[in-house]
């Protein structure tokens, strides 16, 4: 029997018709809509009528009603097992929104307060001749931005090779002291930053070897940054499949070439994350810098000569003065730190996109 092959294309049904699994009964929709709106309306009504505290309303009125409503909808849609389903949906959404609101409010307060101080002059000028109550039209954080970049940049230049070397030791070699190194790294990540600063202060400044100087600040940041960089890059290298290393070695590559040409490129984005997290760990550090680089009003480009300002110490200095203008400056500095971190992270991410993914 001859079989005729039908070559005409079959049109894809429009919208939900082509995805039968996403069809939702009208009854369910109505129930979900009610359960989403009614508790909120009830809560707001109680809030307006009795005038109780918003948080009290949230936990005492809204949440219980919402939980009951969700459980009812759950039963309506799924039967008995729906009770737990409804409860879990409410708990999950509530906790998630809580975190989002928290994060959002932190961001918002920095942006709202900081943006009043922010201007090109605030970013560009330094703090010379500025008194605590000088109006915001004068002075700025230029010297502190430069200081922060110099201090953190120097720490990064020293720490990244050290952290990478540690990670290589932990993943690529058969060294015998791996356990010890891991323990030390863990201990290091628990080191309070002020202790690190005090140590450098005692070792180099109190002992008279140097006066306050930028390089002592960089030095104090290294032990804070190193564990983060080492642990995250260790994880990144561990994710590279063993087959790739074997492939490279089987081609007659010495171990270090196999690492440089195959393993490291494969772990590239993880390595960038390691560096970024390391920078993020120290860029806001205040205590070690107060003790080592101190504070300065003028721009200082010399890491080896004299006190050097940085954004956290600038912020700390002005917020402790207590004038309206000085607090404004502190908020401004906080916003500048956030913008600086955002710029650093975005550029690093864009620059580190691998060729293969970039082309797609």
Partner 1 sequence: MTLNDSHLRSEDVNVWFGERHVLKNVSLEFPSNQVTALIGPSGCGKSTFIRTLNRMHELIPSAGFGGKVLLDGEDIYGEGVDPVKVRLKVGMVFQKPNPFPTMTIKENVLSGLKLSGRKSENAIELVETSLRRASIWNEVKDRLNDPAISLSGGQQQRLCIARSLAMDPEVLLMDEPCSALDPGSTRRIEETILELAPQMTIVIVTHNMQQAQRVADQTAFFLAEDGNPGYVVEFGRTEQVFEQPIDPRTNDYVNGHFG
Stretch that binds partner 1, among 41-49, 162-170, 241-249, 304-312 (CB under 8 A): 241-249
Asked if 304 contacts 215 with a C-beta cutoff of 8 angstroms, the reply is yes
* Shortest Å, Cβ 255 to partner 1: 8
Interface with partner 1, residue 124, by CB under 8 A: no
Size of the chain in residues: 360
* Near partner 1 by CB under 8 A: residue from 124, 192, 241, 322: 241
Nearer to partner 1, 29 or 257 (CB): 257
Residue 37 CA: distances (Å) to CA of 16, 64, 68, 354: 25, 14, 13, 46
- Residue 240: name the closest of 257, 253, 259 by CA: 259
Query: What residues numbered 242-271 form the site for partner 1, per CB under 8 A?
Result: 243-244, 246-254, 257-258, 261-262, 265-266, 268
* Shortest Å, Cβ 233 to partner 1: 17
* Shortest Å, Cβ 358 to partner 1: 11
Nearer to partner 1, 1 or 250 (CB): 250
Interface with partner 1, residue 272, by CB under 8 A: no
Q: What does DSSP assign to residue 308?
A: -
Interface with partner 1, residue 359, by CB under 8 A: yes
Interface with partner 1, residue 327, by CB under 8 A: no
Kindly state the tokens that stand for 212: 């306050």
263: Cβ–Cβ under 8 A, 6 or more apart, which residues? 172, 237, 240, 244, 245, 248
Stretch that binds partner 1, among 59-67, 75-83, 135-143, 350-358 (CB under 8 A): 350-358
Alpha-helix residue ranges (DSSP H) falling in the chain? 26-50, 54-57, 63-78, 82-117, 120-124, 142-172, 178-189, 193-200, 214-238, 242-250, 255-258, 264-266, 268-283, 287-292, 311-319, 324-352, 355-359
Interface with partner 1, residue 175, by CB under 8 A: no
Interface with partner 1, residue 176, by CB under 8 A: no
Interface with partner 1, residue 283, by CB under 8 A: no
Interface with partner 1, residue 356, by CB under 8 A: yes
Interface with partner 1, residue 192, by CB under 8 A: no
d(CA 311, CA 333): 6
Site residues (vs partner 1, CB under 8 A): 174, 241, 243-244, 246-254, 257-258, 261-262, 265-266, 268, 354-356, 359
């Amino acid at each position: 029997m001859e079989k005729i092959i039908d070559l005409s294309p079959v049109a894809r049904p429009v919208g939900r018709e082509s995805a039968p699994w996403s069809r939702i009964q009208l009854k369910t929709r109505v129930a979900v809509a009610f359960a989403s709106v009614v508790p909120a309306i009830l809560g707001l009504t109680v809030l307006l009528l009795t005038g109780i505290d918003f948080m009290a309303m949230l936990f005492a009125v809204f949440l219980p009603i919402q939980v009951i409503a969700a459980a009812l909808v759950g039963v309506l849609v799924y039967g008995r097992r729906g009770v737990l389903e409804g409860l879990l949906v409410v708990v999950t959404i509530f906790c998630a929104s809580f975190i989002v609101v928290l994060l959002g409010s932190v961001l918002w307060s920095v942006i709202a307060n900081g943006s009043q101080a922010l201007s090109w002059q605030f970013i560009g000028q330094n703090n010379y001749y500025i008194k605590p109550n000088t109006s915001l039209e004068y002075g700025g954080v230029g010297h502190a931005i430069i200081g922060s970049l110099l201090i953190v940049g120097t720490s990064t230049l020293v720490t990244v090779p050290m952290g990478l070397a540690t990670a290589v030791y932990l993943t690529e070699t058969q060294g015998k002291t791996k356990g010890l190194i891991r323990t030390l790294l863990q201990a290091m990540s628990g080191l309070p930053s002020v202790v690190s600063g005090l140590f450098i202060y005692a070792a180099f400044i109190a002992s008279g070897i140097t006066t306050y100087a930028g390089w002592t600040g960089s030095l104090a940041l290294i032990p804070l940054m190193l564990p983060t960089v080492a642990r995250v890059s260790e994880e990144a290298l561990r994710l590279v499949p063993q087959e790739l290393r074997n492939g490279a070695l089987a081609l007659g590559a010495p171990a270090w070439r196999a690492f440089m040409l195959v393993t490291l490129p494969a772990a590239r984005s993880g390595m960038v994350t390691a560096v970024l997290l390391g920078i993020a760990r120290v860029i806001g550090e205040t205590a070690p810098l107060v003790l080592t680089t101190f504070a300065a009003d003028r721009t200082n480009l010399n890491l080896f000569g004299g006190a050097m300002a940085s954004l956290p110490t600038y912020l700390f200095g002005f917020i402790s003065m207590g004038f309206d203008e000085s607090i404004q400056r502190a908020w401004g500095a906080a916003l500048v730190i956030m913008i600086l971190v955002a710029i650093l992270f975005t550029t690093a991410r864009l620059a580190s996109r691998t060729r293969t993914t970039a082309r797609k």
